[in-house]
Amino acid sequence: MSETALRITEIFHSLQGETSTVGLPTVFVRLTGCPLRCGYCDTAYAFEGGSKWTLNQILDKVAEYGASHVTVTGGEPLAQPQSIELLKRLCDLGYCVSLETSGAMPVEEVDHRVVKILDLKTPGSGEVSRNLYSNIEHLQAHDEVKFVICDRQDYDWSCMKVDELSLREKVSEVLFSPSQGQLSPAQLAEWILQDKLKVRMQLQTHKYIWGDKPGH
């Protein structure tokens, strides 16, 4: 029987630019392929191509960097079913593992040790109809839910969903991010402060350091 393999776009060592672990040295494993086409996507280069890596090859490469944190991202990692085994193996090796997922793929089989960063798609993404709301019941206290906000409509919709889904009671972090080039960080910050919203606003720190250069 052939060894489990995944199609990988890149594996690289950088600083985490988002989420509650922002600033920490992290190894990113970017899987190839995504069934969504969000209007603001900044990783379209991961939609296709890539190369086949066995699980052992991936784990060996991750180990080379000597980091404690590993983020499995995409594309949409869960579009490749073998990603479930990769996440488990990384946890077994003692890494602090996070998964960046669009929320359009089922998460119930993801190892309970993994921190799921679930990106609920706003109307401005063009993919709001792809949100799989049954995923919410599979979130744990250490997980995080992210909203990328393009305009005031997205902001109001996101506030409604935070309340409707009781997200502040379910997960450790609710993250609001301004869509780069569409909504100014200052404007989003003003809305959050005006409404006394209990969310964490985040910026893509890695872009302020390296721009849009792949591999960072």
Name the percent of the chain lying above pLDDT 70.
97
Say whether pTM exceeds 0.75: yes
Q: What share of the chain is helix, strand, coil (3-state, %, to 5)?
A: 35, 25, 45
What mean pLDDT, rounded, does the chain reach?
A: 94
For the chain, which residues make up each domain, given as ranges? 5-204
pLDDT band with cut points at 50, 70 and 90 for residue 2: low
Give pLDDT tens digits for 107-152: 999 999 999 999 999 999 999 999 999 999 999 999 999 999 999 9
**DSSP code of 71?**
E
Count of CB atoms situated within 10 Å of the CB of 137: 10
CATH for 5-204?
3.20.20.70
Mean pLDDT of 186-191: 98
- Tokens, residue 65: 């960097």
Query: What are the tens digits of pLDDT across the range 14-60?
Result: 999 999 999 999 999 999 999 888 988 888 888 899 999 999 999 99
Interatomic CA distance for residues 120 and 114, integer angstroms: 18
Q: How much is the pLDDT for 196?
A: 97
- Stretch 190-214: mean pLDDT: 88
Average pLDDT rounded to a whole number, residues 51-71: 97
